[in-house]
Chains A and B, each alone.
Chain A
Amino acid sequence: MIPLTYMMSLSAIIFAIGVAGVIIRRNILVMFMSIELMLNAVNLAFIALGARLGSMDGQVIVFFVMTVAAAEAAVGLGIIISIFRNRETVHADDLTLMRW
């Protein structure tokens, strides 16, 4: 079995790339994809730890994370479509309605 540190490091790198994506990119769709990246990095950590602890709990939690990601994608993309319909943009800097 691969050492735990290696699996967790891979998970940390993918998570950090997701964080960088949310900060750097201004396209709402790509920011959304970066959030999916972060969710996946956390899933990887759950699976790796669960396999070494001999516990199925990690896999069940990954199952729930996938369900929540599906719900989040459906609602989030619905919001993006309605924003685009009203403002014709997917650029995060153009959306200033709630800025104070």
Chain B
Amino acid sequence: MPPFLYIFLGALAIVSALGVIVQRNPVHSLLALIATLMAVAILFIGEDAVVVGFLQIIVYAGAIMVLFLFVIWLLNLQVETGPTGHLALKLFGSLAAALLVTELFFFLAPPHLQVKFTRQPLGYGSLASLAGKLFTDYLVAFEATSVLLLAAVVGSVALARRLPAADDSRAAEKTAS
């Protein structure tokens, strides 16, 4: 990956990540998050993770973000007006993030970060090598993932289900008050 591309994508990712947390309107936050995900996906592709980069765009920026969009749409959220949260909280949050970044920089600087560089084998990052790993070394984890997804589907359907009895009691509460 050429250095200017790294600088451009890195700057785009950081600016849009900041956009996620400073936007008042949740839809704008979401769009900024999608921009971050896209920039990170291209960084993945630049780091020889082509399949994972495309999966990031399809699954993350596509499916999961559309789910978020549907929820924002469903809840019919208004733009937050006026100051949100306490000033002390904002200061504390920014300070905590700054401290975390300083600490991580300290440990990610060359004297601490010792990695034994290894040549990438032929076909590194290809679909064949990813699938080969997934269905041999990580087969148990892969099967467990299917159970996890099934549990998530059943759980979210159960959560989103409207219980008739609860609805009646709420309606009664509303008419009483």
The chain A residues found within 8 Å of chain B, CB to CB, are: 1-2, 4-10, 12-21, 23-27, 29-30, 32-34, 36-37, 40, 43-44, 47-60, 62-64, 66-75, 77-82, 84-86, 90
The verdict on B159 contacting chain A, using a C-beta distance below 8 Å, is: yes
Chain A residues whose CB sits within 8 angstroms of the CB of B52 once the complex forms: 47, 59, 62-63
Chain B residues whose CB sits within 8 angstroms of the CB of A51 once the complex forms: 47-49, 120, 124-125
Chain B residues whose CB sits within 8 angstroms of the CB of A30 once the complex forms: 20-21, 26, 29
The verdict on B148 contacting chain A, using a C-beta distance below 8 Å, is: yes
CA distance A41 to B66 in the complex (A): 20
Complex contact A29–B1 (CB within 8 A): no
The chain B residues found within 8 Å of chain A, CB to CB, are: 1, 3, 6, 10, 13-14, 17-18, 20-21, 26, 29-30, 33, 36-37, 40, 43-44, 46-49, 51-52, 55-56, 59-60, 63-64, 67-68, 71-72, 74-75, 77, 80, 84-85, 89-90, 92-94, 96-98, 100-101, 104-105, 108-110, 113, 115-121, 124-125, 129-130, 132-134, 137-138, 141, 145, 148-149, 151-153, 155-157, 159-160, 162, 170
Total residue contacts A-B, CB cutoff 8 A:
233
Which residue from chain B places its CB closest to the CB of A25 in the assembled complex? B21
Sample of 12 A–B contacts (CB below 8 Å): A2-B6, A10-B43, A12-B101, A13-B101, A23-B89, A29-B77, A52-B117, A56-B124, A64-B141, A69-B64, A72-B152, A81-B160
Which residue from chain A places its CB closest to the CB of B6 in the assembled complex? A2
Q: How far is the CB of A7 from chain B (nearest CB, A)?
A: 7
Chain A residues whose CB sits within 8 angstroms of the CB of B151 once the complex forms: 71
CA distance A67 to B78 in the complex (A): 31
Q: How far is the CB of B27 from chain A (nearest CB, A)?
A: 10
Complex contact A13–B130 (CB within 8 A): no
Question: Most A CB atoms within 10 A — which of B72, B145, B156?
Answer: B156
Select which of B90, B97, B110, B159 is within 8 A of A16 by beta carbon. B97
Complex contact B145–A24 (CB within 8 A): no
Chain A residues whose CB sits within 8 angstroms of the CB of B160 once the complex forms: 78, 81-82
Once A15-B100, A60-B133, A75-B156 are accepted as A-B contacts, the answer to whether A21 and B21 lie under 8 Å apart by CB is yes
CA distance A1 to B109 in the complex (A): 17
Select which of A47, A53, A82 is within 8 A of B115 by beta carbon. A53
Which residue from chain B places its CB closest to the CB of A88 in the assembled complex? B75
Q: How far is the CB of B20 from chain A (nearest CB, A)?
A: 6
Complex contact A66–B84 (CB within 8 A): no
Complex contact B159–A67 (CB within 8 A): no
Chain B residues whose CB sits within 8 angstroms of the CB of A68 once the complex forms: 145, 148
